[in-house]
Amino acid sequence: MDCIFCNIRDKEIPSSILFENEKAFAILDINPMNYGHVLLISKGHYSDILEIPENDLKEILSAVQLVSKALVDAFSLEGFNLVANKGEIAGQSIFHFHFHIIPRHKNDNINFVRNIKKYHENQFNKYADQIRNAIQSLK
Ligand SMILES: [Zn+2]
């Protein structure tokens, strides 16, 4: 299996690790949307958030929080975007779980295009019920 993130984790590809704990590590994205754009990557090879064992999530998220705080401090950020894509249709290109932590600045010309939809009359409740039912069946 040829996975660039596994290769980086295993030091088969040299990289500059910013941080690591037992379940996650962080590197700079070499194709940044903004300078300081970090990839926070699970150590285990899981294709996406749905594959990650619950036990790993806590350490992954605590790494996300720590590195995000460090980015805020290092660059005096007012904000950042935290993004994880699931599936090609959502823009996922490397199928090994990772968060993007993208520093934001005033007038940085980064636009996540939002095409806001409106719910029709009963649609809102219908969607809410469908989600609640799905959650119930996962329990
Ligand atoms: Zn991998």
Residues 73-131: tens digit of each pLDDT: 999 999 999 999 999 999 999 999 999 999 999 999 998 888 899 999 899 999 999 99
The active-site residue out of 37, 45, 96, 98 is 98
Cα 126 to ligand 1 centre (Å): 38
Cα 32 to ligand 1 centre (Å): 20
- What's the DSSP call for residue 49? G
Contact assessment for residue 41 and residue 63, using Cβ atoms and an 8 Å cutoff: no
41 has which bridge partners? 25, 98
C-alpha 82/C-alpha 38 separation (Å) is: 10
Cα 79 to ligand 1 centre (Å): 29
C-alpha 86/C-alpha 48 separation (Å) is: 6
What percent of the chain stands above pLDDT 70? Answer: 100
Mean pLDDT of 41-70: 97
The reported pTM is 0.92
Domains of the chain: 4-112 (3.30.428.10)
Over 80: is that where the pLDDT of 46 sits?
yes
Cα 80 to ligand 1 centre (Å): 25
Q: Is 100 among the residues known to form the active site?
A: no
